[in-house]
Amino acid sequence: MILRIIKEKGKVTVKCLQPILGISDRAIRNHLNQMVQSGLLKKEGSKKNKSYGIW
């Protein structure tokens, strides 16, 4: 579901995904970090302004 949302929006933040997914920020960060480690996503920006996308 996260990948589908990113494909639709281009790139996303944890705050953007939280109301859509209805799970905690920490859980979203864990999912996003796993996708980054597996090469599905790339992250961009600083700690407070981090976004995730498919490049």
Residue 36 contacts residue 42 (beta carbons within 8 Å): yes
User: So what's the pLDDT on residue 27?
Assistant: 98
- pLDDT per residue as tens digits for the range 9-18: 999 999 999 9
- Cα-to-chain-centroid distance, residue 27: 11
Q: What are the angstrom distances between the C-alpha of 41 and each of 28, 50?
A: 13, 12
Map out the domains of the chain with their CATH numbers: 2-53 (1.10.10.10)
- 43 strand-pairing partners: 52
User: Is residue 8 pLDDT above 80, yes or no?
Assistant: yes
Model pLDDT for residues 28-51, shown as the tens digit of each residue: 999 999 999 999 999 999 888 899
Q: Residue 4, CB half-sphere, CA atoms under 13 Å: how many?
A: 3
